[in-house]
Structure 1
Amino acid sequence: MRVLGQSDFTIVALQEQIVHRSNYSLVLSASVANMSNTSWVYVNGDFVPAENARISPFDRGFLFGQAAYEVTAVYNGKLIDFEGHLARLSRTLAGIEIAEPDVDLASLHQEIMTRNNLTEGLIYLQVTGGVHGPRDFYGPEELTPGLFMFATHKTLIGDLAQDGITAISIEDTRWKRRDMKTTQLLSQTLAYREARRAGAHTAIMHEDGFVTEAASANTWIVGADETLVTRDLSRALLPGITRRTLADLLRQNGLRVEERAYTLEEMFAANEAFISSTGVVIAPILSIDQRPIGTGQPGPVTRQVQQIYYDYLGADTGVIDWL
């Protein structure tokens, strides 16, 4: 047996140092990579990595669903229709008796875009009734709001815009103040679950025979004379920001737009139909309850509508070969 000498211990020590430094370099490299890929969210005054975000279970948004939200699209690094979203948020907060947050929401949106390297996608903003001690339906006279934001990278003009969607019809079981954008979304959640189980993308909701809206979007139909019809605003549906902008753009481009109630049967008989929302933008409806709408394919008027709105977004429509 050979007795180990000093040189042997030196070699072993050097090998351990090399392994230690190599492992340290790997950990350091991984840390740097994780920093660059961190998803940042905003919670009640602080930007934090998403995995570190904490919200109190005593928040009134959690306990009672007393919260408003907005989702703003980002395209080519720009917020789309941001002022419209802020105005609707203010109306909703007033309606559910929550004070407006004392922060610069425009600056927060810009910062969350920067922190997440967001040039295309969505920014979610939620304002809750805040934390006010034990569970109490009434709570304090004035509710100090909680604030939560996150960003999602998403292609806004994607496969659904090109290929279209299918839908089922379902009775609208939501509460009577659908004009306020609150987080009370149980009916919409169940509508989506029923639609997906039926092999469809979404649900068309109706009440007393009249279409209100889709599970999370406004609906449009195209008549035989190419008039575009969307439901007129009331407490029965959400005043969509994309809907409002789109109606203005269509009229400016010489298209006929009617805002009125229409029945589910009228929607079945339409030449074309589509939905509009911040997240989907514009998606053709191919069928409802497996009944084709028109030809069962995206129609020429819907394609014209998409062209007009995509131009408004600043999209390079010349590279969209299906328009």
Structure 2
Amino acid sequence: MSIVFLNGEYMAPEEAKISPMDRGFLFGDGIYEVIPSYDGKFVGFALHFERLLNGLAAISLTNTFSETEFRAICTKLINQNGNGNLGVYIQISRGSSPVRQHGFSDDLTPTVFIYTFEIPPMPDADAENLKFYKVNTQVDTRWQNKHIKSTSLLGNVMHYQSSKLAGFDETLLFNVHGELTEAAACNVFIVSANKVLTPQLDHEKLPGITRAMVIDVVNKHSNFELEERVISFDEVLNADEIWITSSSKQIAPISVLNDQTVGNGKSYPVWYQVQSLFTKHLFDYN
């Protein structure tokens, strides 16, 4: 990371400073996005920007940039940071207030921070280079507005850290009714009897961009049936395949769930076909 963007200026990261009275720092009062890019080409930029606007509107934070302006800033940053495989992190907080208080006024100037970071090469369906993930399960104890991509991620952090300390790569979360919500940092799909299933969206799930792209690709370009519906704990335990999806992982297969092998632990035929199609259509959503 050699150049970042902060409030209209490009600078070295060590020069980027915000006020300790910034509400993003004090309250996690902000929205963020992460947009992947490969060799200078964004993945799902338009979808990410739409979700950014939805998140800002949900917390009554005024947007100050158009999609064209954001795209230009992000393009300049990835060019200045060498192109390659880069994630673009965008964070907009409500800005600084002279007094720390829970309530906020409408006259604050948002803080806009954008930087790039290296991400792994574009995933493909090459079985020889396939990374399998091990996950456990936990009861989802986060707040009730998980559909907002807020910078207030303490609940996600604690779930993720708990799974890491237990020797897993991620965790699958279930609500008090034993229904799958999502993972600490990903959305979740399962495959059962050759059918692709994922929880339907509501306030308990983040509307993932990779999730939306996978659903579109499966519906348009495959012969697999896909359903968005309630998924029970038992269905997850007995799934033929489990995937976690995110902008950085794309579609990542799970080989172990709570120390139990998923499927046969090495053959994921539905994942293979869907990942191949996803790679083929990766840049269709810009």
Tell whether 2:97 aligns with 1:123: no
1:59: Cα distance to partner?
Answer: 0.6
Cα distance between partner residues in 2 of 1:278 and 1:120: 12
Tell whether 2:249 aligns with 1:271: no
Alignment of 1:1-323 (within 5 A): 39-102=2-65, 104-157=69-122, 162-207=130-175, 208-224=177-193, 226-253=194-221, 254-313=223-282
**Which has the larger displacement, 95-104 or 50-59?**
95-104
| Partner-residue secondary structure (3-state), 2:159 | helix
Name the structure 2 match of 1:24. Answer: none
Choose between structure 1 and 2: higher helix proportion: 1
| Partner-residue secondary structure (3-state), 2:242 | strand
| Partner-residue secondary structure (3-state), 1:136 | coil
1:313: Cα distance to partner?
Answer: 2.5
Name the structure 2 match of 1:16. Answer: none
| Partner-residue secondary structure (3-state), 1:144 | coil
- Note closer, same or farther for the CA distance 1:76–1:255 as it changes in structure 2 (3 Å cut): farther
- Note closer, same or farther for the CA distance 1:245–1:158 as it changes in structure 2 (3 Å cut): closer
Cα distance between partner residues in 2 of 1:180 and 1:259: 19
Of the two structures, which has the highest relative contact order with CA contacts closer than 8 Å and spacing of 6 or more? 2
- Give the structure-2-normalised TM-score: 0.92
What do residues 158-178 of structure 1 show as CA deviations (whole Å, max 9, x unaligned)?
A: 599712100010111111111
1:142: Cα distance to partner?
Answer: 4.2
| Partner-residue secondary structure (3-state), 2:71 | helix
Larger radius of gyration: 1
Cα distance between partner residues in 1 of 2:182 and 2:190: 12
Aligned residues: 276
List, as ranges, runs of 4+ consecutive aligned residues in structure 1 with deviation greater than 4 Å: 158-161
Cα distance between partner residues in 1 of 2:238 and 2:75: 44
Contact 1:40/1:50 (<8 A) preserved: yes
- Give the structure-1-normalised TM-score: 0.82
1:141: Cα distance to partner?
Answer: 2.7
Cα distance between partner residues in 2 of 1:158 and 1:192: 22
Cα distance between partner residues in 2 of 1:146 and 1:109: 16
- Note closer, same or farther for the CA distance 1:265–1:143 as it changes in structure 2 (3 Å cut): farther
1:281: Cα distance to partner?
Answer: 0.7
What do residues 30-83 of structure 1 show as CA deviations (whole Å, max 9, x unaligned)?
A: xxxxxxxx6111111111111221111111111111100000010232111111
The residue type paired with residue 126 of structure 1 is Q
The residue type paired with residue 117 of structure 2 is T
Identity of aligned residues (%): 32
Q: Which runs of 5 or more structure 2 residues have no equivalent in the other structure? A: none
Cα distance between partner residues in 1 of 2:36 and 2:131: 21
The residue type paired with residue 87 of structure 1 is E
- Note closer, same or farther for the CA distance 1:76–1:298 as it changes in structure 2 (3 Å cut): farther
Q: Which runs of 5 or more structure 1 residues have no equivalent in the other structure? A: 1-37, 315-323
Name the structure 2 match of 1:29. Answer: none
1:138: Cα distance to partner?
Answer: 1.3
